[in-house]
Structure 1
Amino acid sequence: MKEVVTIQVGGFANFIGSHFWNFQDELLGLAADPSSDPVFKNHSLNTDALYRSGETQQGTLTYTPRLVSVDFQGSLGSMSSCGSLYNKVASAPPDVITWTGNVSTHAAEPRRRNLFLQRLHEEEQENLTPVDGVNDARNSPQGEIKDEDIVESLESGVQYWTDFSKVHYHHQSLHELNGLWMDAQEFDNYGIGRDAFSWALRGEEISDRLRFFVEECDHIQGFQFIVDDSGGFSSVAADFLETISDEYTNTPVLLYSVRDPVSHTIHKSQKQTISKKLHDAVSFSRLSSFCKLIVPVGLPSLSQASPYLCIKDERPYHCSAVYAAALHSISLPFRMEPLGPTADSRYVSGAVDINGLIQMLAGGARRNMVAILDVAMPAPYLTGKQVGQSLLANLQTLTPEIAEDVEDLQSVESMTIHGALGSGGHRASVSDVKDVVDAAYEKAITRPMFCNLSVALCPLPIPLPFPKIFGNLVGQHGELLGSAVNTSPLRGSLDIHSIPLAGRLRSSSAILPFLENRLGNLRRFGTQQGAAGAELVRRWGFGMDELEDMGETLSKMVVELDPYSQMSSDSD
C-alpha cells in the first residue's frame, strides 16, 4: 500500500478539503452500512492510502485523514485545533515577572455549533453507549434537528470550512498561524504573506506536523498539495514546498493552486491592478519551481460551468464543492487496488500512483509541468447516438485563461470516470465505459497523442452537508432527466444520493494564454526599464535578478509548448 499525505494551505483550499474529506467519510460510512448499495461495499478502493489508524490516550481507536491543514488563527470556527477526538488541556496563564500589578485573563466564548455540528455531537454522544441496530444519520429519528433544517441552515450560514465538516481530524492536522488575525481581503498579495509570516522563525512546527505523518508511512507515493494562491498564503505555501523539496527529495508533489471566484474581482485602481498581476506572476513562478506538476484551478465564475448545476459564485461553500468533486475523481487511481489477488477488475481499472501520473503528463518529451483540470458533473448517460461525443462535450474546464478548441498533436490526458450510468439508468460496467471512451476518441476531430483511462463503478456519494447546487434535471442517482422534476429548482443531498462523474487532467498547449499572461505581466510591470511595479516587488523582497530568473522560468515553459511563440523569444 502506497500512502498519500494531503496538505491544505489557505482559506479556500481548506473549503475544498472539507468537501473532499466529507466524500471520503461518506464512502466509509456507506461501506459499513449493510443497507447501502453493494457498489459502495465492493469498490476496490484502498482508503488506507489517505487515512491512518491510531488510538487516543483513552484507548479509543481512530481512523483520521493523513492531513496537514494551515489557515488563519480563528479560522476553525467552533472546532478545536486539536480536533474533536482529543481532549485539549488548558494551559496555565503565564507568569509575568516584570509586572507587579493585578493580572486578569480574558477568554472569548467558544463559537456555538450550528445545527449540523449539533447533530453530529448528539450522535457521537449516543454512540458512546452501544445500542442494537444501526442508525442512519440521514434518517435519524431525532425530532429536534431535522435534515431539512440542517440543509437550509448550511445554505444560509456557512462561515468557516469547519461548519460543514463531518470528519474527525488528528490533533497534528490542524494548524492555525498564531498572530495572523488578518482579514482575507487584506492578506491579498505575495509580499504581505512574506511580511506576516517568516518560515525560518515559525515554520518548524508545521514541518514537524508533516514529518509526523510521513514517518508513519511504509511507502509514501507522494504529496497532494492544495494551496489558496490568491493572496499571502501563496508565500507560506512556497516556503513549505521548498522545505518539502529539500527534506523529501524523491517524493513527488502534485500541486493544485486554487482560487474562489471572489478573488477574480476586477480592481478599480491601477495600483491594485498592477499588484494583482504581479502577484499572479510571482506566485505561479515560485510555486511551480517546487513541484513536479501544478494544476491551476478556479474560474472567475462557476455559474456557467454546467447546465445541470446552479452555483452561487459568491459562496465558497458552493464553488469549493465542485472543485472538491473533481479532485476526488482525479485522486481515485491513487487508491485503486492494482490488478491482483486483492483487486477485482469488475469494479476498477487503471490504477496509477502520483509519480506515474506526473510522469505521464509532465515527463514526456515536451516536459510540460502545467496541467488543465476538466470535469463532467454529472457525467452523461453512456447510451444513445453520439454518446462518446456527448461525454467529451460535457467535460467543462475548471482552469482559467485557457484557449479553446486547440489542436495539439502532442497533448496527453489522464481521465477518470466513476459511477457511469448506461441504458435505463443502470450502472455501466468497467468494460462498457472503456469501449465507449475508446470509440469517442476514435471519432473525435481532435484527439490527444495519448490518453490514460481509469474507471471505477463507485459513484460520487453526496453527503448531507453538500450544498444545494443541482438543478431539477438531475435525478436521485445523478441521471440526467428529459424533463424537470416537480420539486424545488435547487436540489441537494436530500434529493440526490450519488452522481456519476468524469474528471480529466491534460497536458496541452491550451494552457499557453495562462502562461503568456503571467510572463507578459512580469515583464511589463516588473522587469522592463521604468516598470510601474518595480518598487512594489522590491518591497516584497525580490531583487531584479530574482525577477529575471522568474521570467526565464516562465519563458521556458512557453517554449516547451510553442517554440515559435513571439513572447518566448522576447528578450528579458
Structure 2
Amino acid sequence: MKEIVTIQVGDYANYVGSHFWNFQDELIGLAGDPQADSVFKNQDINMDVLYRTGEIQQGIDTYTPRLVSINMRGSLGSMSSHGTLYKEAATTTSDVLTWTGGVSTQASEPHKKNLFLQSLYEEENFNMVNTIGGSNSGSPSEYQNKDITEGLEKGVQYWTDYSKVHFHPKSLYELNGGWTDVEDFDNYGIGRDSFDWASQGEEVSERLRFFVEECDHIQGFQFVVDDSGGFSAVAAEFLENIVDEYSNIPVMLYAVRGPGTRASRQSRKRTILEELHDAISFSRLSPYCKLIVPVGLPSLGKASKFLHIEDEKHYHSSAVYAAALHSISLPFRLVPVGPTKDACSASGAVDFHGLIQILSGQGRQNMVSVLDVAMPTPALTGGQNELSLLGNLQSLTPHIAEDVEDIQAIEHLTVHGAFASVEGRRASVCEVKDTVDAAFQRANTRPLFYHLSVGLCPLPIPLPFPSIFGNQVGKHGEMMSSKLTNSSSKGSLDVHSIPMAARLRSTSAVLPLLESKLQNLHRYGITRGAAGAELLRSWGFDKEELNEMQETLSKMVATLCPPQLSSDSD
C-alpha cells in the first residue's frame, strides 16, 4: 500500500479540509451500511491510503486521518486540540517556589457546540449504548436534520462546526502567539515574523514524523495551504523542512483561498502590499513541491450552472474546492485493475509519482497545473445539456487564459459516479472511456497527451454539507426538468450523492497568472525606486533573495511560452 499524509495550513485550508474529510467519513460509513446504495459497497477505493488504524486506552479500535493541521490558537471552536477520541488530561498549576506573590487565573468560556455537533455527540453515545446492550432502535428524525442543516447555514464560525470526523491527538496544532484574528494575519511578512521555526518547528515536525514513520510505503504529501496571508510563510518554513528531511517524497501543493478576499476598492498602498504578497508567496512555496495547483476564484458564481454559492460564506465555497480535491485525488486510492478484475469496474489508478510524471514529465517540465471541475457532471448522453462532459468543466484556478491552443498541453481527468443517460443508469468505465475519447476527437483543440481515471462511486453528500445545489439537481445528482421554478437551493436532505468530474491541466493557459506575479514583483519590489521596496525589507528580504524569486518566476514563464515567442525575445 502507498500511503498519503495530508497537511493543512491556515484557516481556509482547514475549511476545505473539513469538507474533504467529511466526504471520506461518509464513504466509510456507507460502505458498511446495509441500507446504503449498492454503488458504495464495491468502491474499489482503498481508504487506508488516507487513514491509519489505532486503539484507545479502553481497547476500542480507531480509524483516523493521517493528517497534520495547523491553524491559529482559538480556531478550533468547541473542539479540543487533542481531538475527540482521547481524554485530554486536566491542566494543573504547579507550585512555583520562586514566586511568593498572588496568582490569578484567567480562563475564557468554552465555545458551545452547535446543534449538529450536539446531535453527533448524542448519536455516538446512543450507538455505543445500543452496541453494548445489543439493541438497535431509534434514529434522528427528518425534522431534527432540517434544524441541523438550517443552523449550519446560519451559524458556521469555525471549520470544526461542521466536521463529523474523529482526529488523532497529534493532528491538530495551534500556533503560539497573540494572533487570533485571521483578517489581520494577512501578509507574508506578518507570518514570517510570527512563526519561529526554531521554537515551534520541532513540535510540528515531530507530529508529521509520527504519521510518516508508521507508513509502509508513503507515496507523497498532500499539502493544502491558505496562501492569502501569513500562513504562506508558515507553510514555506514547513515545506523547506519537509524537503530537507524527506527529500525523496513528492509534495503536491494546493494553494487555496476563499472568494472575495480582496476588496474591489482600496488604497494604492494596500494594492501594492497584496500584489507583493501574492508574488512572494508563490515564488517561495513553489520550489518545495513537485506540483503546485492554485485554487480560488474571486467569485464562485460561474463554477457551475447547477450551484448557488454565497461567496461570503467560506462554508459554501470550501465545499466546492474540497469536492474537486476529493475527485482529483481519487486515482491515488483506486485499487489497480488486476488480471482477474473486470476492466469496466475501475480504471486509471495512479500514484503521486505517476501523476507528477504525467503532468510535468512529458514534453515540457511544467510544475503549475490548472484545476477544473464539473459539479455535478451531466449524463453522458441525452437530455438538454448542450455541452459535452469536457465542455461542462469550469476552472477553479484564477487569472487563466480561455480557449488557449497549446499543442504541448497535458491533462489528467477523473470521472466518477457518472450517469450513462438522463434516465439515471450508471455508466460503466468503458462507457465513460468511449465518451471521453469521442469528446477529445471532436474538440477543436486537443492536448498532447491525456490520462483518464474512472470510478463507479459518486461523491457522497454528508449531512453537514451546505445547501448549494440548484433545484434542477436530483437526489442522486441527476439533472431534472429545467421547467422547475422553485429558486431555493437544495442541501444534503434532498441531494444524497452526485457524479463528478475534475481535471488537472499542464497548459500555457496559466501564463497570465504567472506573468502578473513576475511583473508585480519586478515593478513594486525590484526596479529602481520601487514603491514596495521598503515593505519587502521590513519582511526580511534582501536584494539577492528577491532576484532569486524573480528568476524562479521567470523560468516558469519561459517554460510555458510558445517557442516562437521565446526565440523572438532572445
Tell me the TM-score normalised to structure 1 length.
Answer: 0.96
CA distance in 2, matches of 1:262, 1:58: 47
CA distance in 1, matches of 2:241, 2:401: 34
For residues 137-182 of structure 1, give each alpha carbon's deviation from its aligned partner in whole angstroms, at most 9, with x where no partner exists.
xxx6346970000000000000000000000000010000122433
* Cross-structure match for 1:18: 18
Q: SS of 2:490's equivalent?
A: coil
Q: In the alignment, is the contact (CA less than 8 A) between 1:347 and 1:458 conserved in 2? A: no
Q: SS of 2:364's equivalent?
A: coil
Per-residue deviation, 1:365: 3.2
Q: In the alignment, is the contact (CA less than 8 A) between 1:349 and 1:430 conserved in 2? A: yes
C-alpha distance 300-570 of structure 1, shift in aligned 2 (>3 A):
farther
Q: SS of 2:174's equivalent?
A: strand
Give the partner amino acid of 1:119.
Answer: S
For residues 238-266 of structure 1, give each alpha carbon's deviation from its aligned partner in whole angstroms, at most 9, with x where no partner exists.
01000000000000000000000132323
Q: In the alignment, is the contact (CA less than 8 A) between 1:288 and 1:294 conserved in 2? A: yes
* Cross-structure match for 2:443: 444
Determine whether 1:284 maps to 2:285: no
Give the partner amino acid of 1:454.
Answer: S
* Cross-structure match for 1:419: 417
For residues 220-239 of structure 1, give each alpha carbon's deviation from its aligned partner in whole angstroms, at most 9, with x where no partner exists.
00000000000000000001
C-alpha distance 441-145 of structure 1, shift in aligned 2 (>3 A):
same
CA distance in 2, matches of 1:39, 1:347: 11
Q: In the alignment, is the contact (CA less than 8 A) between 2:179 and 2:185 conserved in 1? A: no
Per-residue deviation, 1:414: 0.2
1:359-374 equivalence runs, <5 A: 359-374=357-372
Per-residue deviation, 1:297: 0.1
Q: Unpaired runs of 5+ in structure 1? A: none
Which of these residues, 311, 314, 321, is aligned with residue 312 of structure 2?
Answer: 314
Q: SS of 1:42's equivalent?
A: coil
* Cross-structure match for 2:375: 377
CA distance in 1, matches of 2:563, 2:420: 45
Give the partner amino acid of 1:56.
Answer: I
CA distance in 1, matches of 2:386, 2:291: 28
CA distance in 1, matches of 2:473, 2:309: 14
C-alpha distance 379-134 of structure 1, shift in aligned 2 (>3 A):
farther
CA distance in 2, matches of 1:376, 1:434: 17
Determine whether 1:523 maps to 2:522: yes
CA distance in 2, matches of 1:397, 1:236: 27
Q: SS of 1:154's equivalent?
A: helix
Q: SS of 2:260's equivalent?
A: helix
CA distance in 1, matches of 2:31, 2:282: 40
Give the partner amino acid of 2:300.
Answer: L
Q: In the alignment, is the contact (CA less than 8 A) between 2:187 and 2:274 conserved in 1? A: yes
Q: In the alignment, is the contact (CA less than 8 A) between 1:559 and 1:565 conserved in 2? A: no
Q: In the alignment, is the contact (CA less than 8 A) between 2:363 and 2:408 conserved in 1? A: no
Identity %: 64
- Structure 1 stretch 98-107 or stretch 463-472: which is displaced more? 98-107
- Structure 1 stretch 458-467 or stretch 194-203: which is displaced more? 194-203
* Cross-structure match for 1:498: 497
Q: SS of 2:327's equivalent?
A: helix
* Cross-structure match for 1:150: 148
* Cross-structure match for 1:79: 79
For residues 513-546 of structure 1, give each alpha carbon's deviation from its aligned partner in whole angstroms, at most 9, with x where no partner exists.
0000000000000110110000100110100110
Q: SS of 1:506's equivalent?
A: strand
Which of these residues, 344, 350, 353, is aligned with residue 352 of structure 1?
Answer: 350
CA distance in 2, matches of 1:267, 1:226: 29
- Structure 1 stretch 259-268 or stretch 524-533: which is displaced more? 259-268
For residues 389-410 of structure 1, give each alpha carbon's deviation from its aligned partner in whole angstroms, at most 9, with x where no partner exists.
5211110000000000000000
CA distance in 2, matches of 1:386, 1:306: 16
1:47-62 equivalence runs, <5 A: 47-62=47-62
Question: What is the count of residue pairs matched by the alignment?
Answer: 567
Determine whether 1:168 maps to 2:166: yes
Per-residue deviation, 1:269: 1.0
Which of these residues, 188, 193, 196, is aligned with residue 194 of structure 2?
Answer: 196
Give the partner amino acid of 1:525.
Answer: Y
For residues 420-470 of structure 1, give each alpha carbon's deviation from its aligned partner in whole angstroms, at most 9, with x where no partner exists.
001211101110000000000001000101110000000000000000000
C-alpha distance 304-133 of structure 1, shift in aligned 2 (>3 A):
farther
CA distance in 2, matches of 1:223, 1:43: 23
C-alpha distance 342-493 of structure 1, shift in aligned 2 (>3 A):
farther
Q: SS of 1:271's equivalent?
A: helix
Per-residue deviation, 1:567: 9.9
Per-residue deviation, 1:100: 1.5
Give the partner amino acid of 2:502.
Answer: G
CA distance in 1, matches of 2:117, 2:568: 56
CA distance in 1, matches of 2:142, 2:474: 29
Q: In the alignment, is the contact (CA less than 8 A) between 2:478 and 2:498 conserved in 1? A: yes
CA distance in 2, matches of 1:364, 1:239: 30
1:327-346 equivalence runs, <5 A: 327-340=325-338, 344-346=342-344
C-alpha distance 62-486 of structure 1, shift in aligned 2 (>3 A):
farther
Q: In the alignment, is the contact (CA less than 8 A) between 2:467 and 2:492 conserved in 1? A: yes
C-alpha distance 173-85 of structure 1, shift in aligned 2 (>3 A):
same
CA distance in 1, matches of 2:69, 2:525: 32
Q: SS of 1:391's equivalent?
A: coil
- Structure 1 stretch 29-38 or stretch 477-486: which is displaced more? 477-486
* Cross-structure match for 2:270: 272
CA distance in 2, matches of 1:312, 1:526: 35
C-alpha distance 569-253 of structure 1, shift in aligned 2 (>3 A):
farther
C-alpha distance 505-48 of structure 1, shift in aligned 2 (>3 A):
same
Q: SS of 2:179's equivalent?
A: coil
Q: SS of 2:548's equivalent?
A: helix
Per-residue deviation, 1:59: 1.2
C-alpha distance 102-569 of structure 1, shift in aligned 2 (>3 A):
farther
Give the partner amino acid of 2:373.
Answer: V
1:524-539 equivalence runs, <5 A: 524-539=523-538
Give the partner amino acid of 2:195.
Answer: F
Q: In the alignment, is the contact (CA less than 8 A) between 2:465 and 2:492 conserved in 1? A: yes
Give the partner amino acid of 1:370.
Answer: V
Determine whether 1:555 maps to 2:529: no
* Cross-structure match for 1:40: 40
C-alpha distance 196-105 of structure 1, shift in aligned 2 (>3 A):
same
Per-residue deviation, 1:374: 0.1
* Cross-structure match for 1:239: 237
Q: In the alignment, is the contact (CA less than 8 A) between 2:255 and 2:294 conserved in 1? A: yes
CA distance in 1, matches of 2:464, 2:503: 25
Per-residue deviation, 1:482: 2.3
* Cross-structure match for 1:457: 456
* Cross-structure match for 2:300: 302
Per-residue deviation, 1:202: 1.2
Per-residue deviation, 1:15: 0.3
CA distance in 2, matches of 1:59, 1:265: 52
Q: SS of 1:349's equivalent?
A: coil
C-alpha distance 427-535 of structure 1, shift in aligned 2 (>3 A):
same
* Cross-structure match for 1:260: 258
Q: In the alignment, is the contact (CA less than 8 A) between 1:19 and 1:466 conserved in 2? A: yes
CA distance in 2, matches of 1:134, 1:293: 48
* Cross-structure match for 1:9: 9
Tell me the TM-score normalised to structure 2 length.
Answer: 0.96
* Cross-structure match for 1:117: 117
CA distance in 1, matches of 2:523, 2:228: 20
- Structure 1 stretch 454-463 or stretch 332-341: which is displaced more? 332-341
Q: SS of 1:225's equivalent?
A: strand
C-alpha distance 357-233 of structure 1, shift in aligned 2 (>3 A):
same
CA distance in 1, matches of 2:87, 2:340: 38
Per-residue deviation, 1:494: 0.3
- Structure 1 stretch 86-95 or stretch 295-304: which is displaced more? 86-95
Per-residue deviation, 1:472: 0.4
Q: SS of 1:27's equivalent?
A: helix
